[in-house]
Chain A
Amino acid sequence: MCSARVSPHFIIRAFQEGADGVLVAGCHIGDCHYLKGNYIAIKRVAILRDLIDFLGISKERLLLEWIAGSEGDKYARVADEFTEKVRSLGPSPIKRIPFREKAVAMVR
Chain B
Amino acid sequence: MEALKNKVNELLESGGIAGFLGLRNFGSEPFPFLFTRDTAAEVEKITTGAVRYPLSKILIRIAAVYPDAIFGIMCRACDERAIIELFKNTKLRSDKVITIGISCTDDLVQACKCENPQPSNLVSGEAGKKEFDRSDVQKIASMTLEQRFDFWTEQLGKCIKCYGCRNICPVCFCDVCTLEDQPLVKRGEIPPELPSFHLTRAYHMAGRCVDCGLCEEACPVDIPLRTLYRRVRESVKELLDYLPGEERDKVPPIQVLGDGLFEIRD
Contacts and interface: CB of A to CB of B under 8 A. Distances in A.
Asked if chains A and B are in direct contact (CB within 8 A), the reply is: yes
Interface of A: 4-5, 7-9, 12-13, 15-16, 39-40, 43-44, 46-48, 50-58, 93-94, 97-99, 101
Interface in B140-195: 140-141, 143, 145-153, 157, 178, 181, 184, 189, 191, 193-195
Minimum-distance CB pairs A-B, first 7: A56-B149, A56-B148, A50-B235, A16-B196, A93-B149, A54-B231, A9-B184
Contact of B152 (A16, A40, A55, A99): A55
Contacts of A12: 184, 196, 199-200, 203
A77 to B, nearest CB: 27
Q: What range describes how many residues of B lie at the interface?
A: 35 or more
Interface string B233-256: 001100110000000000001001
B221 interface: no
Interface of B: 140-141, 143, 145-153, 157, 178, 181, 184, 189, 191, 193-196, 199-200, 202-203, 206, 228, 231-232, 235-236, 239-240, 253, 256-258, 262-264
A54 B148 contact: yes
Residue of B203, B236, B253 most packed against chain A (CB within 10 A): B203
Chain A interface, >50% SS class: helix
A8 to B, nearest CB: 5
A15 B196 contact: yes
A44 B204 CA distance: 11
A65 B109 CA distance: 44
Contacts of A8: 203, 258
A46 B203 contact: no
Given A56-B150, A57-B149, A7 B231 contact: no
B256 A40 contact: yes
Nearest to B144: A56
B148 A55 contact: yes
A47 B232 contact: yes
Contacts of B178: 9
B156 to A, nearest CB: 8
Given A58-B145, A99-B194, A43 B256 contact: yes
Contacts of B151: 56
A4 B261 CA distance: 12
Given A7-B258, A16-B193, A57-B149, A47 B199 contact: no
21 contacts: A4-B262, A5-B262, A8-B203, A9-B178, A9-B184, A12-B203, A40-B258, A40-B262, A43-B239, A46-B235, A46-B239, A47-B203, A47-B232, A50-B231, A50-B239, A51-B206, A52-B199, A55-B152, A55-B195, A58-B145, A99-B191
